Amino acid sequence: MLGIINGEVYDPRNGINGEVRDIWIEGGKIVSAPAASPPELGGTEGGRDAAEIIDATGLVVMPGGVDIHSHIVGAKVNAGRKFRPEDHRDHVRSRTSLGPPFRGEVRGATRSGSGYTVPSTYMTGYLYAEMGYTTVMEAATAPLVARHTHEELEDTPILDKGVFITMGNNHFIMNCIRNGQREKARDYVAWLLEATKGYAIKIVNPGGVENWKWGRNVSELDDEVIGFGVTPRQIVTTLAWINDELGLPHVPHIHAINLGQSGNARTTVEMIEALEGRRAHFCHLQFLSYGGKPGKRLRSGAAEVARAVNEHPNITIDVGQIIFGPATTMTSDGPLQYRLHQLTGNKWLNDDVEGETGGGVVPMQYKRNNPFNAVQWLTGMELFLLIDDPWRVFLTTDHPNAGPFFYYPQVIKLLMDRDYRAEMLAGIHHRARKGALLAELDREYSLYEIAIITRAGTARALGLQNKGHLGVGADADVTIYAKLDDKEEMFARPRYVLKDGEVVVRDGRLVHERPGRTLYVTPPYDAGIEADLRTHFEECYTISFDNYPVAAEYLPHCEVVPCA
Amino acid sequence: MKIENVVCPFCGCLCDDIVVEVEDSRITAVKNACASGRSLFLNAHTQAVQPKVNGEEVDWPQAIDAAARILNDAASPLIYGLSSTASEAQRKAIALADLLGATIDSTSSVCHGPTTIGIQNQGEPTCTLGEVKHRADLLIFWGCNPAEAHQRHFSRYSALAKGKLTPNGRKDRTVVVVDVRPTASSRRADIFLQVRPGCDFEVLAALRALLKGQHLDVDEVGGVGVVQLQDLVERMKSCRFGMIFFGMGVTQTGGKHLNVAELLTLVAELNAYTRFTTMPMRGHGNVAGADSTLTWQTGYPFAVNFARGYPQYNPGEFTAVDVLARGEADAALIIASDPVAHFPRQAAQRLSQIPTIVLDPEINLTAQVARVMLPTAIYGVSAAGTAYRMDNVPLPLKKVVESPRPTDEQVLDWMIERVKTCLA
């Protein structure tokens, strides 16, 4: 047994707001307080006296961080690593020997790595853990290459992880919608999630990625997908219905249409309304909350979008906050990446995936003195400050699209410290600053709210019952911070991080490497669908139906998360 | 017993429709495979063989001990090969290189390494092979000869394949071959452009100029008439979905990565007119996997050195041929490859001068000069694992017959444990 005693605990899921509490851990889980056994009674085995103690007096105790949207592994990320050696050269990590249980001067107890915006897998696991995060969701994988994603996840230590499976341009689903076969689409989605060992339905630019295979895109909810006669609206509403039918722990995770374009706030709000009350998550909403006229100067449309989010309790969002500096944009949104290549002149990687989706990668540099980037930055900030309910707005940088994940502490400081925010605002391009709503927003996040937007809220939105809180029965993923005035410094270097009850980080440095688990779902479906799928595979794929599913051997460390 | 949907591990096509018949742990028949694939299955050596140290048969613990000592005593060991083993073994090989502070390189460095460098300069507009099958109406094969090197490529994925938008297969596509000589592939093309050897860059640059509407005041470029080039440009601009497959005729002739970068730029620029894509014709069954595993564990796809404790990347410095020819490598671990048969003489000679360890199912030329020979099972025949197709689609390799031999992954795991205890 392990006790974390006298800490200032922030556990929003259980309504604990900075009260001094003791947290007890056994068998990798949070347990109830053991009976005190004073020395005169001789102490009892397994009781409080026998416990190992972390004295957290004066320290802040939170559940381990839970990231709802980050691109850390898989085909796109690896393509980004492969074609960006310039990203890695100055950002390296040496292999090390660790303290116990590796004492004895054995080299190689942790692995080396490299990469800034696109770190290698081991390094990604270490860096997240060293920032106090213990669960991370990989935001997009094409089903056809899910096997690759799982191989990389197995090489990403410490973290628990899940994979979102892209379905918004899937031929089988679009055919079902055209033919009015919602139930067949539902069974297919369930089969696909099990076959790919996925966690959630991901929708990226519905219909637009398929149209990109013809050199086109979609720009309105009722535009037609070439060759299928369906619309983005139909794709999104059908998948939202399927999600509810299957009782998946998460909701459909939506990257809407017109990402990055002036005036996209309108279509974003239209898509929120199109769901007609069904639950959904809109990711990296900053990129989808711009005002102004299409093709004209970019303005923040955060107010319009935040109003819609505030009015629709069925919606959660993550921000995708811009971090000034280098980034690598990578998304299944193929036409967007071509546009970014045209816009920046930077090298461009494109990968269309048969019958399913597409994707692209383009390096990026966000600059304070670039009016476009400055508007993007303040749009994200405004979303954070204008959406009232912290349980529905989450901290992400859409890593590595808007910036690397290890800048989360900077974003926390921007949210908690309005003077720092004003200082940053003063440093951005004057044209973006002029008349910006952000200058008038003096809201400051509390530690309690930060705990919501970085763990409690994300865990709840993901349907992870055992994460994001410190109640009895929760996974013993705990982060302990020094209470510092400089919130960036506080959140960048936790004093302790525990994963499944074991100390993995001390004073911001990794001290113990262990594997994490891959979380996936197995919703039930009518096995009769397999006959249809065999025909579909023969007609549409270049691999056989039998070689498509990811076998259990690829997930030696895993956990099935139950559906409702 | 009949086993269906078997993935053939021979080349980058990874055809996954092979049917293998097995009787008494012996493969008796192979259906659907090309001649190379059939030969691989029918002639697979799976029987028990003892490892050898200095030509003497030893047991496995002794062999692993000898190998670990060689690697541990070396100041600058080299790990090379990887392209004909499974990604599970590749990941272990990289872990071993990290542990030792070794140099690690794959056969990519002598085939499509320049492609990687070109992509690092220009990016890569690409797609999976299914997109080619279903959409491509213009196929260009440049400096490659799939009719002989990737024998089922035409029928499964490209020239002859019948797809959704190409229901009549070959009739619905225009096939262009660009090469320095007529080949079995060029004989099956609609258009054959014969480039003067070493002039690929010039021809690619001329195509880019013509695409931009420039007038060329010459009659021919690199042996190809400007009229023919203009015709090709028009076809490229007006097709529905174009694809350039390219091989070592582009990557290993003068200019190397500059040729590739020029080709990639041309393809990117064509997307202003229509959808256009490109793909390297990867040779070995899992050479694409070697690039992938090295990249996700180290950040770099080949030519990686761990001497400083972290990965460094520098083709020309940390590529196997260079490390050997300069005499820097003082021990070598060769996994599923035969560099003595393929490397320049100076590099090959070095392998016989230093203690070399070979992990391979076959007694190849390198094994004959090796100090330690570790005979392993064959991925896709007598061991299960994962391989990445030339378009980076991962496929599961099956174990179709039992073999008493350990897998590369197992042997590398033993080696890692032994090296760790040596170090401790």
Cα–Cα nearest to A299, from A439, A441, A434: A434
Q: Report the distance separating Cα B94 and Cα A250, nearest Å.
A: 36
Q: Could you tell me if A559 and A518 are in contact, meaning their C-beta atoms sit under 8 angstroms apart? A: yes
**Confidence class for position A295, pLDDT limits 50, 70, 90:** confident
Q: What is the pLDDT of residues A177-202, one digit of tens each?
A: 999 999 999 999 999 999 999 999 99
Are A65 and A467 spatial neighbours (Cβ–Cβ below 8 Å)? no
**Residue A27, both tokens:** 């068998």
| Chain A from 120 to 159: CB within 8 A of any B CB | 120-122, 144-145, 147-148, 151-152, 155
Structure confidence by residue, pLDDT tens digits, A454-469: 999 999 999 999 999 9
- Cis check for the bond before B361: say yes or no (omega within 30 of 0): no
Q: Quickly tell me which residue has 């993901």 as its tokens.
A: A462
pLDDT, position A36: 66
Residue A294: predicted pLDDT: 87
Between β-strands A113-114 and A92-93, what pairing exists: parallel, antiparallel or unpaired?
Answer: antiparallel
Describe chain A by its helix, strand, coil percentages, rounded to 5.
Answer: 35, 20, 40
Pinpoint the alpha helices (H) of B199-286.
200-211, 226-238, 248-251, 257-270
- Give the other-Cβ count within 10 Å of A94's Cβ: 14
Chain B nearest-CA residue for A212: B275
Residue type, B244: I
Helix (H, G, I), strand (E, B) or coil at A540: helix
Partners of residue A330 on adjacent β-strands: A361
Q: Among partner residues B95, B121, B296, which is closest to A81 by beta-carbon distance?
A: B296
Cα separation, B133 vs B160, in Å, equals: 9
Say what the pTM is. Answer: 0.97
Instruction: Give residue for tokens 């021990």.
Output: B331
Q: What is the pLDDT of residues A337-352, one digit of tens each?
A: 999 999 999 999 999 9
Contacts of A341 in chain B (CB under 8 A): 123, 268
DSSP letter at A234? H
Preceding amide of A400 cis, omega within 30: yes
Question: Where in A341-406 does DSSP place strands (E)?
Answer: 348-352, 360-366, 393-394
Q: Which residues of B touch A88 (CB under 8 A)?
A: 299-300, 311, 313
CB contact under 8 A, A83 and B119: yes
Is the distance from CB of A42 to CB of A36 less than 8 angstroms?
A: no
Q: How many CA atoms lie within 13 A of A73 on its CB side?
A: 30
Give the model confidence (pLDDT) of B302-336 as tens digits: 999 999 999 999 999 999 999 999 999 999 999 99
The per-residue pLDDT for range B355-384, each reduced to its tens digit, is: 999 999 999 999 999 999 999 999 999 999
What was the pLDDT predicted at B45? 87
For A30-44, what is the mean pLDDT? 69
Q: How far B301 CA lies from chain A's nearest CA (Å)?
A: 6
By percentage, how much of chain B surpasses pLDDT 90? Answer: 97
Pairing, β B77-81 against β B331-335: parallel
Helix or strand (DSSP H, E) at B279: strand B275-280
Distance CA B301, CA B285 (A): 16
Cβ–Cβ pairs < 8 A, chains A and B: 192
CB crowding B47-56: b at 16 or more within 10 Å, else e:
eebebbbeee
- Provide Rg for chain B, Cα atoms: 23
Say whether residue A197 is in contact with chain B using an 8 A CB cutoff: no
User: H-helix or E-strand containing A259?
Assistant: none
By C-alpha distance, the chain A residue nearest B271 is A215
Of the candidates B250, B279, B341, the residue with the CA atom closest to the CA atom of residue B13: B279
Contacts of A423 (CB under 8 A, 6+ apart): none
For B392, the closest of A75, A87, A111 (CB atoms) is A75
pLDDT in tens, B123-179: 999 999 999 999 999 999 999 999 999 999 999 999 999 999 999 999 999 999 999
Q: Within chain B, what is the greatest distance between any pair of CA atoms?
A: 71
3-state helix, strand, coil in chain B (%, to 5): 40, 25, 40
Residue B373 in contact with residue B64, Cβ under 8 Å?
A: no
Contact list in A for residue B296 (CB cut-off 8 A) is 73, 78, 81, 120-121, 151-152, 155
Burial (CB count <10 Å: 0-12, 13-18, 19+), residue A296 = exposed
**Res. A102 pLDDT band, cuts 50 70 90:** very low
Task: Look at strands B220-221 and B224-225 and give their pairing.
Answer: antiparallel
Please, what is the average pLDDT of chain A?
A: 95
Q: Least CA distance to B269: which residue of chain A?
A: A342
Residue A330 has pLDDT above 50, yes or no: yes
Q: Which residues of A423-459 are buried (b: 16+ CB within 10 A; e: fewer)?
A: ebbeebbeebbeebbbeebeeebebbbbbbbbbbbbb
Residue whose entry in the numeric block shows the structure tokens 């990320």: A77
- From residue B312, give the alpha-carbon distance in Å to each of A58, A91, B101, B327: 43, 11, 11, 19
Strand pairing category for A360-366 and A502-506: unpaired
**From residue A527, how far is each of A175, A190, A535, B99 by CA, in Å?**
19, 10, 14, 47
Set of chain B residues whose Cβ sits within 8 Å of the Cβ of A542: 128-130, 133, 156-157, 393
Per-residue pLDDT tens over the stretch A195-236: 999 999 999 999 999 999 999 999 999 999 999 999 999 999
Q: Which residues of A touch B128 (CB under 8 A)?
A: 144, 351-354, 542
**DSSP assignment string, A121-176:** HHHHHHHHHHTTEEEEEEEEE-GGGHHHHHHHHHTS-S-EEEEEEE-TT-HHHHHH
- Report how far residue B100's alpha carbon sits from residue B81's, in angstroms, rounded to the nearest whole number: 17
Q: What is the pLDDT of residue A96?
A: 87
Closest to B108 (Cα-Cα) out of B249, B246, B252, B9: B252
pLDDT of residue A37: 59
Q: How many angstroms separate the CA atoms of A115 and A124, rounded? A: 9
- How high is the pLDDT of residue B419? 93
pLDDT of residue A329: 98
User: Which value, to the nearest 10 degrees, does the dihedral of the CA atoms of residues B154, B158, B159, B163 take?
Assistant: 120
Top residue of A82, A174, A212 to mutate, by most chain B CBs within 10 Å, is: A82
For A423, the token pair is: 């200082």
pLDDT digits (tens, 9 = 90+) for B206-237: 999 999 999 999 999 999 999 999 999 999 99
Q: How confident is the model at residue A116 (pLDDT cuts 50, 70, 90)?
A: very high
**Chain B nearest CA to A92, separation (Å):** 6
> Is A209 in CB contact (< 8 Å) with chain B?
no
A46 or A269, greater pLDDT? A269
Alpha carbon dihedral A276, A277, A282, A288, in 10-degree steps, equals: 40
Question: Are the C-beta atoms of residues B194 and B182 closer than 8 Å to each other?
Answer: yes
Residues B57, B262: Cα–Cα separation, whole Å: 52
Say whether A108 and B420 touch across the interface (CB within 8 A): yes
Residue A562, classified by CB atoms within 10 Å of its CB into exposed (0-12), middle (13-18) or buried (19+), is: exposed
Chain B positions touching A112 (Cβ under 8 A) are: 98, 298, 306, 309-311
| Chain A hits for B125, Cβ within 8 Å | 348-350
B28-36 average pLDDT score: 97
Candidates A108, A145, A362; nearest CB to B99: A108
Residues of chain A positioned with their CB less than 8 A from the CB of B4: 546
- Based on the number of CB atoms within 10 Å of its own CB, is A42 exposed (0-12), middle (13-18) or buried (19 or more)? exposed
